[in-house]
Amino acid sequence: MGILQANIRMVSVLVVLLVHLLVIAESLQKQASCSDEESYALLQFKHSFFINIDASLHDGAHSKTSSWKPEGGNSSCCSWEGVECDEGTGHVIGLDLSSSLLFGSINSSSTLFRLVHLQRLNLSDNHFNYSQIPTNIRNFPRLRYLDLSGSVFFGQVPLEVSHLSKLSSLDLSDNFLNGPFSDSLANLTELTYLSLENNNFKGSTLSWVGKLTKLTQLRLEGTNLIGNIPSSLGNLTQLTFLALPYNQLTGPIPSSLRNLGSLAYLDLGVNKFHSSIPEPLFNLTDLKTLYLDENGLTGQVDIFKVQNMTVLQLGGNKLEVITDSRTIDATILPMFKTLGLGSCGIKEFPYFLRYQQNLQWLDLSRNTLHGQVPKWMWNTSTQSLGFLALSYNFLSGFGQPNVVLPWVNLQVLFVGHNLLGGSPPIPPKHIIYYSLDGNKLTGELSPLMCNLSTLQYLDLSSNKLSGTILPCLGNFSNDLQALNLRSNSLHGILPQTYSNTSNLKMLDVSYNQLLGKIPRSLANCVKLESLVLSVNKFSDVFPFWLGSLPQLKLLAMHHNEFYGVIENTKENLHFSELRILDLSCNKFRGEFPSEYIFSGNAMRGIVLSQPTYMEASSYLNIGHAQLFSYQFEVTISNKGVERYYENIQEDLGVIDISSNNFHGKIPEFIGNLKGLRFVNISNNIFNGSIPSFFKNLTLVEALDLSQNQLSGEIPQQLAQLTSLAYFNVSCNNLTGSIPQGHQFHTFENTSFEGNPGLCGDPLTKRCGDSNAPPHLPPSSSIEENVSGSAFEFDWKFVLAGFGSGLLVGVVLADVAITRRRELFLDIVGTMIRQMKRIRRQRMY
């Protein structure tokens, strides 16, 4: 019995085995059918690239081709990773080499184009070294899926793409493609999915789009499109997803969009639409997400006509949003997750918010809300709310002083630029961003702040806070990246304990009444980039110990009581990244050891391929991934005027050591610092002549050498400095003729006066003319001229900024692109590939 059963079991096991073997044999047979030609083509294709770990950005990227081996001839390709063969014919019909670390150029001679049976081709997330999309792409007439996204392709989309008439999915997003693209796309009538986002198709329009009537998803974010939305877009009745943000589309939003009955997601934000919002948009039954922010839209929107939407973003238009109808049953409104009503002319807290319990993201900034936050708001979305922006209103309080705010999961709170008085409201424990700048806060900081151990950004600047800086602010949160206490009435000393686990990048305590020494423990903050101590009563020697900080770019300490000779400590503390040094109005003396401070310094040759600003940033997921960045700010004097910079370009080079007692010759080493833009050494006791090496500073915009004891002539070579907008050598003992031509004809005589021996334009004393008066009475026209040129040359600092340095870029896009490296320094070192895809930037 037992034996029989065992036998039966054995037989069945054997049968199963046999079946398995058959299956394996069959599949071997299939694999064997891969032709030599195709295997060879694949191997050649493989060998035309390097494998480079930096070539792919996604997690899990690996070299798929490294397993490709020509075992027993070429004919095993169907089993290779990423290769798919037709079961009947054995032809290669699919190739998926996405995220395969491929690096190298590709052109039409590539053996890839011999795989003429391809139906699916996926080369996304590799690095094709700015190759053009090869015209031989037309060799794939059977192609249905083509994905070349994020692979560093460059140049125009070849016309040959229009031959791929079977294409149903085309993804060319995240490349360096440029345009305008021709009507070739209009031919691809089988497309259901089209993504061209994040390219630069400058000058292209949407005229072709109406023919692609099978599209279900159309993604054209950030492609630099111009023109109107054609009404034929209404023909794409299958669309469920339409994203056109971050372009330059103009005109009205066409009401033909009413035909898009399946639309669930519509994003027209960050364009130049100017019309009212066509009412039918609110009648689209499936529409759940609507972004219309940052346009020029006008007219009234009745929020009570919105139904079924969970994400509604209307901020940054000229809309008037009606939110205060108490007669209408507010419970008919959908439960929003994201509600953006910034700059919507709202005068009162919208009463319907009382019933909203799912809000994650609420923006009511830049309205005219006033008084206290109503009590019922304390019941709104207490569990879900992660982001709350109330900045730029007229709020005077949260209704309940000295109580921890009720939104237990709040991560971001912007209440800057209101009229809040008293002590700062205490946010819930897990807050990450907290901005209260520009209010009327008074009193001391509550010790409860010390419990906010996940804070990354705290901005209390421009208030009237008094008392001392809580000692805990040195180390209460290891995550802290930016602490801004600028412009208050704080006194006492700085916290003494900065730990070596600190992530602090920016510390600004300027414009207070702080005193004492600079804590040596600040040298523990190895990530520190910006330290602003200006306008206090600090009294210490030059903080040479900060020279070890590898990231320190900005050190501003003007108007304090720093003193003494800046000595070279021989400890190799070299301030290797320092670009902005402001020591003005202190009591330093001795020589200015520029060689010690700036040797090996980045300022010798900073080259940025695109303007970036000094900032700290983090990703947060509140409903969707968003990039929050905090831009550093500083007040420095430029061209004789104190100026407040809301953002600081990374390559700005500044040396201001004016109004000290530095003496000796102007250090020659400065001639090496080619990134310098502002140099101010005025009001010291430098002597000797003006060195001709200043001609090396080809970017310099302002050069102030006034009020020293400089003698000799002004080097004629300075006339070559074409960027020079401000030049002041007044009150020295210079002689000879003033250089002429180029910028020099724009300088007023105030730039030169107080030098009895100088002659030539713009002074009336002519060279060789001993009858002219020694120097002129002071001119009154200086102010006009200075501010004029300042405006002209400072445009680059005037970003879309108002007031606060807090900037939020909302990153949609697939967060699947993990930021293994946020900034991908290109292998060829020519361009920076930035994978953080910022769609919207808004100041809060």
- Residue selected from 237, 285, 300, 723 as contacting ligand NAG according to rule CB under 6 A: 285
**One-letter amino acid of 700:** V
Stretch that binds ligand NAG, among 9-17, 102-110, 544-552, 595-603 (CB under 6 A): 102-110
- Residue selected from 162, 217, 396, 466 as contacting ligand NAG according to rule CB under 6 A: 162
- Residue selected from 36, 329, 784, 822 as contacting ligand NAG according to rule CB under 6 A: 36
- Residue selected from 180, 234, 296, 754 as contacting ligand NAG according to rule CB under 6 A: 234
Using the minimum distance from each CB to ligand NAG, give the nearer residue, 29 or 283: 283
Using the minimum distance from each CB to ligand NAG, give the nearer residue, 351 or 693: 693
Using the minimum distance from each CB to ligand NAG, give the nearer residue, 173 or 631: 173
Determine, following the binding rule CB under 6 A, whether residue 98 of this chain makes contact with ligand NAG: yes
**CB count in 10 Å sphere of residue 9:** 10
Work out how close the CB of 811 gets to ligand NAG at its nearest, in angstroms, rounded to a whole number. 18
Tokens of 314: 């209307």
**CB count in 10 Å sphere of residue 730:** 21
Stretch that binds ligand NAG, among 32-40, 494-502, 537-545, 553-561 (CB under 6 A): 32-40
Determine, following the binding rule CB under 6 A, whether residue 753 of this chain makes contact with ligand NAG: no
Determine, following the binding rule CB under 6 A, whether residue 280 of this chain makes contact with ligand NAG: yes
Closest to 85 (Cα-Cα) out of 125, 117, 50, 44: 117
Determine, following the binding rule CB under 6 A, whether residue 183 of this chain makes contact with ligand NAG: yes
Instruction: Phi first, then psi: give them for residue 669, nearest 5 degrees.
Output: -60, -25
How do the residues of the chain divide into helix, strand and coil, expressed in percent and rounded to 5?
Answer: 20, 25, 55
Question: What is the total count of residues that contact ligand NAG (CB under 6 A)?
Answer: 55
Determine, following the binding rule CB under 6 A, whether residue 154 of this chain makes contact with ligand NAG: no
Closest to 218 (Cα-Cα) out of 188, 190, 239, 249: 239
Stretch that binds ligand NAG, among 214-222, 607-615, 665-673, 803-811 (CB under 6 A): 665-673
CB 507 within 8 A of CB 530: yes
- Residue selected from 30, 31, 32, 40 as contacting ligand NAG according to rule CB under 6 A: 40
Determine, following the binding rule CB under 6 A, whether residue 283 of this chain makes contact with ligand NAG: yes
Using the minimum distance from each CB to ligand NAG, give the nearer residue, 611 or 688: 688
- Residue selected from 192, 238, 298, 711 as contacting ligand NAG according to rule CB under 6 A: 711
CA atoms within 13 A on the CB side of 51: 11
Closest to 76 (Cα-Cα) out of 62, 97, 90: 90
Using the minimum distance from each CB to ligand NAG, give the nearer residue, 249 or 843: 249
Work out how close the CB of 23 gets to ligand NAG at its nearest, in angstroms, rounded to a whole number. 27
Distances (CA, A) of 836 to 206, 624, 738, 802, 826: 26, 14, 50, 23, 15
Instruction: Phi first, then psi: give them for residue 324, nearest 5 degrees.
Output: -115, 20
- Residue selected from 189, 307, 717, 781 as contacting ligand NAG according to rule CB under 6 A: 307
- Residues 548-607 close enough to bind ligand NAG by CB under 6 A: none
Distances (CA, A) of 206 to 209, 243, 513: 6, 13, 59
x-or-dash pattern for ligand NAG, window 715-734, by CB under 6 A? ------------------x-
Beta strands in 100-247 (DSSP E): 102-103, 120-122, 145-147, 154-156, 169-171, 176-178, 193-195, 217-219, 226-227, 241-243
Determine, following the binding rule CB under 6 A, whether residue 262 of this chain makes contact with ligand NAG: no
| CA quadruple 96, 99, 102, 105: dihedral sign | positive
Determine, following the binding rule CB under 6 A, whether residue 165 of this chain makes contact with ligand NAG: yes
What whole-number distance in Å separates Cα of residue 816 and Cα of residue 751?
57
Determine, following the binding rule CB under 6 A, whether residue 501 of this chain makes contact with ligand NAG: no
- Residue selected from 28, 403, 825, 828 as contacting ligand NAG according to rule CB under 6 A: 828
Using the minimum distance from each CB to ligand NAG, give the nearer residue, 545 or 693: 693
Using the minimum distance from each CB to ligand NAG, give the nearer residue, 37 or 479: 37
Closest to 635 (Cα-Cα) out of 721, 534, 552: 534
- Residue selected from 63, 100, 124, 356 as contacting ligand NAG according to rule CB under 6 A: 124
Work out how close the CB of 77 gets to ligand NAG at its nearest, in angstroms, rounded to a whole number. 10
Closest to 57 (Cα-Cα) out of 124, 119, 130, 11: 124
Q: What is the dihedral of CA 741, 742, 746, 748, to 10 degrees?
A: -50
x-or-dash pattern for ligand NAG, window 671-690, by CB under 6 A? xx------------------
- Residue selected from 50, 394, 644, 802 as contacting ligand NAG according to rule CB under 6 A: 50
- Residues 354-393 close enough to bind ligand NAG by CB under 6 A: 375-376, 379
What whole-number distance in Å separates Cα of residue 36 and Cα of residue 33?
9
Stretch that binds ligand NAG, among 162-170, 239-247, 657-665, 831-839 (CB under 6 A): 162-170
- Residues 65-84 close enough to bind ligand NAG by CB under 6 A: 70, 73-74
Strand partners, 620: 626
Determine, following the binding rule CB under 6 A, whether residue 169 of this chain makes contact with ligand NAG: yes
Determine, following the binding rule CB under 6 A, whether residue 454 of this chain makes contact with ligand NAG: no
Stretch that binds ligand NAG, among 276-284, 337-345, 522-530, 577-585 (CB under 6 A): 276-284
DSSP of 702-768, one letter per residue? EEE--SSEEEEPPPGGGGG-TT--EEE--SSEEEEEPP-SGGGGG--GGGT-S-TEEESTTSSSPTT
Using the minimum distance from each CB to ligand NAG, give the nearer residue, 336 or 793: 336
| CA quadruple 318, 319, 324, 330: dihedral sign | negative
Closest to 122 (Cα-Cα) out of 101, 145, 143, 142: 145
* β-strand pairing of 709-712 with 733-737: parallel
What whole-number distance in Å separates Cα of residue 463 and Cα of residue 468?
14
Give the binding site for ligand NAG (CB under 6 A): 36-37, 40, 48, 50, 70, 73-74, 98-99, 103-105, 107, 109, 122, 124, 129, 145, 147, 162-163, 165, 169, 171, 183-184, 187, 210, 231-232, 234-235, 256, 279-280, 283, 285, 307-308, 375-376, 379, 448, 451, 668, 671-672, 693, 696, 709, 711, 733, 735, 828
